[in-house]
Amino acid sequence: MSVKDQAGTEPPREPILAPGHDLVSITDKISSLVLARGASRGWFVGVAVCLALVTLLMVSLAYLLLRGVGIWGLNNQVAWGFAIINFVWWIGIGHAGTLISAILLLLKQHWRTSINRFAEAMTIFAVMCAGIFPLIHVGRPWLAYWLLPYPNTMGLWPQFRSPLVWDVFAVSTYATVSALFWYVGLVPDLATLRDKAVGRPLKMIYGFLSMGWRGATHHWDRYETAYLLLAGIATPLVISVHSVIAFDFSVSVIPGWHTTIFPPYFVAGAVFSGFAMVLTIAIPVRAIYGLGDFITMRHIDNMAKVMLGTGLIVAYGYLMEIFIAWYGGNEYEVFMVKNRMLGPYAPAYWSLILCNVAIPQLLWSPKIRRNVRLLLAIALIVNVGMWLERFIIVVTSLHRDYLPANWNMYVPTFWDWATYGGTIGLFVLLLFLFVRFMPVISIFEMRTLVEPPHDEGADHTGLEQTEVEP
Amino acid sequence: MSERAVLDDAIYGSLAEFESADDLLAAVKAAREAGFRRMEAYTPHPIERVSHELGHKNHLPLVVLIGGALGAGSGFALQYYTSVISYPVRVGGKPLNSWPAFIIVVFEMTILFAAVAAVLGMFALNKLPQPYHPVFNASIFELASRNRYFLLIEARDPAFDPITTPAMLRDLTELQVVDVPS
Amino acid sequence: MSSIESQHPDGKVQRREFLRLMGASLTLGGLGACTRQPEERIFASARSPESRIPGKPLFFATAMTMTGGAQPILVESHMGRPTKIEGNSMHPGGFSATTAPVQAAVLGLYDPDRSRVVKRAGRISTWPAFLGALREALDGLDDAGTGLRILTETVLSPTLADQLWSLLGDKPGAVWHQYEPVNRSMARAGSEIAFGEDVQVLPRFERAEVVLSIDADFMTTGPASVRLARDFAARRRVRAEGEELCRLYSIESAPSPTGSLADHRLPLSPARIEAIVRVIARAVGVELEAPEIDSLPVQQRNMVQALVDDLKAKRGRGVVLAGEQQSPAVQALAHAMNDALGNNGATVDYYDPIEMEPIDQVESLRQLAQDMQAGEVQALVILGGNPAYTAPADLNFPEHMAQVPFCAHLSLLEDETSRRCGWHVPEAHFLESWSDTTIYDGAASAVQPMIAPLYEGRSSHEIVAAMAGFVGKSSYEIVRAFWKREAFTDDFESYWEASLHNGWLADTAFDPRPVTLNSSLAEGLAEGPVVPPGGEIEVILRPDPMVWDGRFSNNGWLQELPNPITTLTWDNAALIGPATARRLGIETEDLVQLACGERMVEAAVLVVPGHADDCVTLHLGYGRTSAGEVGSGLGCNAYQLVTAGSAWSAVGRLTPTGRRYPLARTQLHHSMEGRDIVRSANVHELSDQEHGHHEGPAHTLLAPPEKNDGPAWAMVFDLSTCMGCNACIIGCQSENNISIVGKDEVMRNREMHWIRVDSYFEGDESSPEILHQPVPCMHCEDAPCEVVCPVGATVHSAEGLNDMVYNRCVGTRYCEANCPYKVRRFNFYLYADYETPSLKMMRNPDVTVRSRGVMEKCTYCVQRINEARIHAKKEGREILEGEVVTACQSVCPSSAIEFGDLNDPDSKVSRLRMLPQHYSLLEELGVRPRTTYLSRVTDRNPDVSRS
Amino acid sequence: MSQVFPPIVNTISRVSILGAGFLIGGAVWLVASIFQSPYVSREGVTRPQPVAFSHKTHVGALGLDCRYCHSFVEESATAGLPSTKTCMACHSQILAKSPLLEPVRDSYDDDLPIAWTRVHDLPDFVRFDHSIHVNQGVGCSSCHGRVDRMPLMAQGSNLQMDWCVRCHRQPELALRSQSEVFDISWQPGPDQEQRGRALMSENSIRTKPLTDCSICHQ
């Protein structure tokens, strides 16, 4: 064991791995979650509830295909509604995963190791939910493939100046890279499962998935390089994706959309909502599966801090919108801001401020950051808040734009809500399946906390107080 | 599987189990000094020092670079061809070659190709998938994905000797050393 | 909602949609959408008719009879199917323009609800059976034909009148009644008081410099409306420095299109109008007892004084017009004022009435009802009209009908009257039958069929002929025979051919006639109505601007066409002024009860700025019980408040019911919020900086739009003459196969009209300035919609059109979201009717019918441009100025729309774009719209202090 | 025992990965070729007709001018079908009794149209005007092919958008002088390109608007 004790150089912090763990305990604890026979009653109940929601989703999609997007609250003034709001919301949520696994990796934030696995899973599932919306929101979904550049008998191509085409590329790239990243991370753990699994069928399944990984040093070598490069690539990607989503709005000419601040502030918002969602998932999972040793208060605390930080950036964004409207003195911008604050959708705006700006300030207090119940509540509130933000951006900007004669209202219908709820069901369902069949925490990376791959790595691992040696 | 080993009494190599990374490292050093080259270490987690000892070359970054360049090139080519050559149309008073608007797709394509190159390259260079490998024949190898460190010296190594090599390894570890049937 | 179903998918369609989708998803996730087409059959006629080239439209001249006068029209016919109506400018009394109802007539023709068979007591019967029954009924009478009654609407057809007269000749006992709810009774009475005889007025705006309109909406209603709109608009255009305008003062209760153009508008309740008219009349020199101007409330005094001075200053160059629904006294005073001001003969011409038999129609109907009650009516033949619905409530007409042994009704739809008649005979639509009619100046016009009757339709001529014993005589023979006898020419054949070709019969128009004012006019005037005491309110009844007296209730186009100014669709409402609304504590969409005596209706309130106080306006034509799929069960039946004594006003109580009733309006917000949207300026301030003409933003980094060697199309709206009549909307609808969506969808703001007319109220809400702005697609040079479309479904054409390619559109609606003018329209459902055969026949074959899930919008009538281009190319030349006329442009009564080629410096649009009042909407966005505007130019009297 | 798979599995797994790639590629290629195939485009496909009318006989053998039957092609958007009267002009004498012409005679006698099956059928959202093409020097055979060699009428070209647009981009490749428009056997000569250019300037044909969407979709 080569833990260079530099505890003196920095204030004592909680460990990111509870004392008393060695390679064996880590390996066995995490893999047992998957390999343990049978699942709890609660798991089945949860899956059942989600399936119900997914059914609702299917029904609303079928009805949508039958009748057309008219079943939603859209109209000629507010031509974009829930579909776009939910799309942006889900994509945003996805961002935390990539951020944790990529950016924090580059920043050598070792505390990420115990959360990146399910954060990445969450990313993929969120992107799946998001992906549904652009498809179904078009008037003729059966022609949506026209957005792809493929040679055809019409001799026509997509129009590459359109942000929607950028979306197609950004989101599909994002989905692919996230999936690859996730899978690559899984391979060594799948090998572990292969070796620990009892019974040939299970061994074969994990055997195939792990591609015959055997931990050879050559492999580890390239593996680490690939992983690092992926992280390096994914970092600009994750930032670009929500910037591109922001372009959907900022490229337009609509007051409230046409704003240069959108890209950064969308990215911050995305991370904000993403970490909120990670917490929303981490806290229960940690409690249910007794992962307190691996996902320690240190993690919770750090995530809360990230939330606080990004939350402040978002708040700054709100402030800037108002300031620029006033400073720019554009009558339409000024009106847009007034309309958000005092117009018919004012309640939505003020609850947005409450959820995203006011309440997160509680996170300044360490006590609250360490109170998981309260933290869970705040995380949920932030999720709601971020959804409201997108609602405000999409609806209040459109419903009263340049010509007052057009002004109109947007009222979501049952089917709007049904579709939204359905995707939430799908998301949670996928999570349930994930925690049951895949290691929720990266086993081999946890091992590196005990056995740092690089000599210098140790000082960050926070293992100062741990005695691993027997 | 030992039966199979007996049937064709060819041996793939000799596998030594270690308690810790340090032991493994020491063994690797020793083995190299003993003139062994065709050997491979197996560890439950990456350990750079070992790979240093074994001294690998790693071409992956180059692969990724090529992938990225390819992505960028094809990304711009696609957009230029479709909007300037194939079917030029006036759109919102913008020039046919609206390169600033094309940057995003170029960027995304770069990322996509680079990422795919990284992953495929990694698997390809590692010769994966390879569900079957002789080293799995050693039953103790199950621990390689848990908490044990292994050093394998291949029988193909000119310096390999079915008697002396395992013996040498036994001196390097207090855990067991086994023959890996091929 | 039934109206949607009739126009829009029902279960069947959804099933079909479903199957198609399933098919689609089977074939590789929707590639099915572009797989092979079904086989199509094509038919070659066995013996091809001469002079018809398949695929080329033909235009035929005919005329549409409307209340009080006909409108000469040209009907575009594709392969024998009338599809579009244009004005007939070949006609001396005609113009290229038309009114909304005329445009909608094609839908009336193809209305799937039209009755198709003769019915006896609701059971299917036959024409011969009817003839038999008719004969029987007539034989049952004595030789004088006593007990035979014929009820028609106002008869304008010389032939029909001649037939009736000769019929009455053999049957002296028979009586011919005429009734339709909107008639000239008031005007008749008025001119009889004034001149002792019945004459009708035709103002000569080309010679006028000041006009006083007393609740006269002369630009949109009445037989001469198009002519008057043209003439008046011509006097309101400024094309050069220092041009003088014809100043318009308007005193009216509810804001009207004409009133909205007024330089000074005074909203007053009817009672107050009559009072103030007396004051004005006296002030301009009519002898009668009336108070001084100084006695008027201050805010009125100032304007009235200025008005009187103006009228006096411009003796012989002014016009005073009274609305058709004003009381005889007001009518008479209007005549008297014109006389006193020396306008008669100068700016006001008088003609004989154009009705074949001018009578007091209400009296005539009252007589009939009375006789029916007394059981003196043995046989009643109703030719058109719908008296069971439109008769004044106090006549109890429907009940009395039950007492008539033989009762037959000829009508297009099986309406309220048909249901109460033993016999119902389907009427041939005027586009299906031969007849003749008279336009406002007395000129007789030919009515010829464009298409063989779709169903067993019969014309009034045939029925009257049958009554006279000439069974089986066709309308054609009857009409032709009449003119052969009447025409003052020896070469009848060529006369007849020319008449049919041009659509009018030569030398039949009237000449102006002299009139002499009745010296003792003052005595003739009845006491004016008094302003009702508190708690009571004046109820103003008016024909609906769109469905008129109810005859167009089943016309979806007219139902969905927004009412001028209020933009109300699919309903009528109790229009009320803001102050009065506040006083009564009611607001828009509150359901209130209007009770006049024991008769009452429940109507939804619609608060209209600029509506007079202490009175409420309610439109007729709603509350139909059997109008058809579309028109039944909409709004409330205002006829409940109509009495034989007073057709146009009543005094009643307004009590809120506490319930609400949703109204479908296409515009909810009528304030410009201080934005530079509709510019208006006084004629004398035109050259000011603020109205200096703009060529895009002052400094821009954008490259100038590339010039192509072909034409560059552009459109200019003159807001000085746009009165917001909305005719353009329906003209566009008819030309471009635009679907209607029904009330529910309009309430969801999903109407499909490609051009809309925004109306704004500026200034004091009690009497605001009312501005109109037609907004179609602006065809921006740098169109924001194009940049964001991911599939290039909306792109720019070389000639500067913002093309919309329906078949490429996948429906992301991004273009719509990014359109600053919000002029794009999305097919949220399958709005187009792919099922009903008759509606398929109505479609313009040159315009794609849009399916569900695609965007659509104004195309500058690209099909007409293409047609013109092809025509020009064949002749080896470029397109000429004025060769392309868009649908909205051709229909506009006040010719407020110009369309043409910007690359031609002499084209009208190019010259208009150089005018000082020229501007483009939301200029600062730098999207460079091709559609631009001329500010509203007014000519306010400096003596009137703006309050 | 940690060995799960027999050696062969390595090969299988690698091959299957490659195979998947080929499968996807193949599927794409298949779809593409189906959509260009005559199965979809119906190029060169004949349709059953009520009367076995042979353009080969009438145009090829007898050398009738297209306009004899399709008489509106120069004035109207639709070329027009001959009325039965036109057929009977000759067939009251020639083959007057032939059973093949029974439907024609019936149609003539009871004045009912013959229901032909449309061969060149464009989608409803496309507007094609024969007159302008003919007037500007686009010959019949350019789209309808060598009808003089068709016993039964077959679709002369795939009528797919890129095919239309190709000619709208480079009319010079197809334009002929007015005299040759109805010449069914016309073939572009070696100098076609500059002849076409000459004709273009002569008729002042601007290609720029010709690829506008609204030229065909209105």
* Section C779-787 average pLDDT: 93
H or E element in which residue C295 lies: none
d(CA A417, CA A421): 6
The residue behind tokens 């609660």 is A42
Q: Which residue of C has its CA nearest to A331?
A: C675
**What local confidence, expressed as pLDDT, does residue C21 receive?**
41
Contact: A69, C670; criterion CB under 8 Å:
no
- With pLDDT > 70 as the criterion, what percentage of chain A qualifies? 93
Are B147 and B115 part of one and the same domain?
no
Domain C120-183+357-427 fold: Rossmann fold (3.40.50)
**What local confidence, expressed as pLDDT, does residue C704 receive?**
67
Contact: B131, D5; criterion CB under 8 Å:
yes
For C607-624, write each residue's pLDDT tens digit: 999 999 999 999 999 999
- Please tell me which residue, C699 or C773, carries the higher pLDDT value: C773
Domain membership of residue D43 (yes or no) is no
Q: Which residue of B has its CA nearest to C784?
A: B92
Contact: A162, C790; criterion CB under 8 Å:
yes
Contact: C56, D118; criterion CB under 8 Å:
no
Phi, psi for A123 (deg, rounded to 5): -55, -50
- Beta strands per DSSP E along A220-346: none
pLDDT beyond 90 at C891: yes
Amino acid of residue C320: V
**What local confidence, expressed as pLDDT, does residue A200 receive?**
87
Give the pairing of strands C574-576 and C680-682: unpaired
For D3-20, write each residue's pLDDT tens digit: 888 989 999 998 999 999
Contact: A180, B119; criterion CB under 8 Å:
yes
Contact: B87, D211; criterion CB under 8 Å:
yes
Contact: A251, C853; criterion CB under 8 Å:
no
Domain C712-938 fold: Alpha-Beta Plaits (3.30.70)
Number of Cβ within 10 Å of residue D75's Cβ equals 17
Poorest-pLDDT segment among A400-414, B73-87, C27-41, C600-614:
C27-41
Q: Does domain C185-351 have CATH number 3.40.228.10?
A: yes
For C267-293, write each residue's pLDDT tens digit: 999 999 999 999 999 999 888 888 888
pLDDT beyond 50 at C798: yes
Are B117 and B65 part of one and the same domain?
yes
What confidence tier does C38 reach under pLDDT thresholds 50, 70, 90? Answer: low
pLDDT beyond 70 at A128: yes
Number of Cβ within 10 Å of residue B181's Cβ equals 21
- CATH entry, C537-665, from 2.40.40.20, 3.30.1960.10, 3.40.630.10, 3.30.300.30: 2.40.40.20
Domain membership of residue D28 (yes or no) is yes
**What local confidence, expressed as pLDDT, does residue C14 receive?**
45
Number of domains in chain D: 2
Q: Which residue of D has its CA nearest to C807?
A: D125
Domain membership of residue D143 (yes or no) is yes
pLDDT beyond 90 at C484: no
Q: Which residue of B has its CA nearest to A23?
A: B147
Q: Are A159 and C785 in contact (CB under 8 A)?
A: no
- The residue among C648, C540, C551, C650 whose CA lies nearest residue C595 is C650
* Section A311-336 average pLDDT: 92
Quote the minimal CA–CA distance from D15 to chain C in Å.
27
Give the D window 136-195 contacts with B, CB below 8 Å. Answer: 165
Task: Mark residue A190 as left, alpha or beta (left: phi above 0; alpha: psi -120 to 50; beta: remaining).
Answer: alpha
Contacts D87 to C, Cβ<8 Å: none
What confidence tier does C230 reach under pLDDT thresholds 50, 70, 90? Answer: very high
Q: Which domain holds residue B117?
A: 60-125
Q: How many residues are recorded in chain C?
A: 947
Give the chains touching B; criterion: ≥3 Cβ pairs < 8 Å.
A, C, D
Which two tokens mark C71?
A: 């409108």
Q: Measured between CB atoms, does D3 come within 8 Å of chain B?
A: yes
Quote the minimal CA–CA distance from D160 to chain A in Å.
6
- The residue among C474, A216, A234, D7 whose CA lies nearest residue B115 is A234
The residue behind tokens 């149309």 is B89
pLDDT beyond 60 at A2: no
**What local confidence, expressed as pLDDT, does residue C525 receive?**
82
- The residue among C624, C127, C142 whose CA lies nearest residue C423 is C127
Q: Are C734 and C84 in contact (CB under 8 A)?
A: yes
What confidence tier does B66 reach under pLDDT thresholds 50, 70, 90? Answer: very high
- Please tell me which residue, C731 or C94, carries the higher pLDDT value: C731
* Section C500-514 average pLDDT: 84
Are B33 and B14 part of one and the same domain?
yes
Which two tokens mark C767?
A: 């009497």
Contact: D4, A207; criterion CB under 8 Å:
yes
Quote the minimal CA–CA distance from D179 to chain B in Å.
33
| Chain A with chain D: Cβ pairs closer than 8 A | 29
**What local confidence, expressed as pLDDT, does residue C8 receive?**
37
Partners of C210 in the beta sheet?
C247, C318
Rounded to 5°, the CA angle C187-C188-C191 comes to 80
The residue behind tokens 């030594």 is B16
d(CA B116, CA A180): 8
Q: Which residue of A has its CA nearest to B104?
A: A166
- The residue among A177, A25, A17 whose CA lies nearest residue A101 is A177
pLDDT beyond 80 at C35: no
Phi, psi for C71 (deg, rounded to 5): -120, 125
For A144-157, write each residue's pLDDT tens digit: 999 999 888 899 99
- Predicted TM-score (pTM) of the model is 0.90
What confidence tier does B5 reach under pLDDT thresholds 50, 70, 90? Answer: very low
**What local confidence, expressed as pLDDT, does residue A293 receive?**
87
Among the partner residues B123, B128, B145, nearest to A195 by beta-carbon distance = B145
- With pLDDT > 90 as the criterion, what percentage of chain B qualifies? 38
What confidence tier does C501 reach under pLDDT thresholds 50, 70, 90? Answer: confident
**What local confidence, expressed as pLDDT, does residue B2 receive?**
42
Q: What is the DSSP letter of C834?
A: S
Are B54 and B8 part of one and the same domain?
yes
Distances in Å between the Cα of C645 and the Cα atoms of C153, C596, C786 are 19, 13, 61
For A159-195, write each residue's pLDDT tens digit: 999 999 999 999 999 999 999 999 999 999 999 999 8
- The residue among C703, A248, C777 whose CA lies nearest residue B93 is C703
Helix (H, G, I), strand (E, B) or coil at C926: coil
What confidence tier does C693 reach under pLDDT thresholds 50, 70, 90? Answer: very low
What confidence tier does C705 reach under pLDDT thresholds 50, 70, 90? Answer: low
d(CA B112, CA B103): 14
Are B168 and B112 part of one and the same domain?
no
For chain A, the average pLDDT equals 88
For chain C, the average pLDDT equals 87
- Most confidently modeled of A97-111, B100-114, C141-155? B100-114
Q: Are A84 and A167 in contact (CB under 8 A)?
A: no
- With pLDDT > 90 as the criterion, what percentage of chain C qualifies? 59
Poorest-pLDDT segment among A16-30, C820-834, C876-890, C895-909:
A16-30
Is C204 buried (19+), middle (13-18) or exposed (0-12) by CB count in 10 A? middle
User: Which one of B107, B125, B143 terminates a domain?
Assistant: B125
Are D29 and D125 part of one and the same domain?
no
Among the partner residues A138, A159, A402, nearest to C811 by beta-carbon distance = A138
Give the chains touching C; criterion: ≥3 Cβ pairs < 8 Å.
A, B, D
**What local confidence, expressed as pLDDT, does residue A423 receive?**
96
Q: Where are the domains of chain A?
A: 21-147+175-450
* Section D128-147 average pLDDT: 92
d(CA A273, CA A390): 12
What confidence tier does A467 reach under pLDDT thresholds 50, 70, 90? Answer: very low
* Section D81-103 average pLDDT: 87
**What local confidence, expressed as pLDDT, does residue C26 receive?**
37
Are B42 and B19 part of one and the same domain?
yes
For A242-268, write each residue's pLDDT tens digit: 999 999 999 999 999 998 899 998 999
Contacts D85 to C, Cβ<8 Å: 46-48
Quote the minimal CA–CA distance from C780 to chain B in Å.
8
What confidence tier does C368 reach under pLDDT thresholds 50, 70, 90? Answer: very high
- Beta strands per DSSP E along C98-209: 119-120, 123-124, 148-152, 175-178, 200-203
- The residue among C730, C826, C813, C821 whose CA lies nearest residue C778 is C821
Q: Which residue of A has its CA nearest to B58?
A: A222
Q: Which domain holds residue D27?
A: 8-36
The residue behind tokens 């109820």 is C539
**What local confidence, expressed as pLDDT, does residue A243 receive?**
93
Which two tokens mark A334?
A: 């000024």
- Please tell me which residue, B9 or C320, carries the higher pLDDT value: C320
d(CA C260, CA C267): 11
* Section C130-135 average pLDDT: 91
Q: Where are the domains of chain C?
A: 1-34, 37-110+435-456+470-523, 120-183+357-427, 185-351, 537-665, 712-938
Q: What is the DSSP letter of D56?
A: I
Per-residue HEC secondary structure of C478-519 comes to HHHHHHHHHCCCCCHHHHHHHHHHHCECCCCCCCCCCCCCCC
Q: Which residue of B has its CA nearest to D1?
A: B139
Which two tokens mark D34?
A: 């189906």
Predicted complex: ipTM over 0.85: yes
Q: Measured between CB atoms, does D215 come within 8 Å of chain B?
A: no
Which string of DSSP letters, residue by residue, matches C231-292?
HHHHTT---STTPPP-EEEEEESS--HHHHT-SEEEE--HHHHHHHHHHHHHHHT--S----
Q: Are B23 and A425 in contact (CB under 8 A)?
A: no
Give the C window 777-806 contacts with D, CB below 8 Å. Answer: 795, 797-799, 801, 803, 805-806
For B134-163, write each residue's pLDDT tens digit: 889 888 888 888 889 999 999 888 888 888
For A44-63, write each residue's pLDDT tens digit: 999 999 999 999 999 999 99
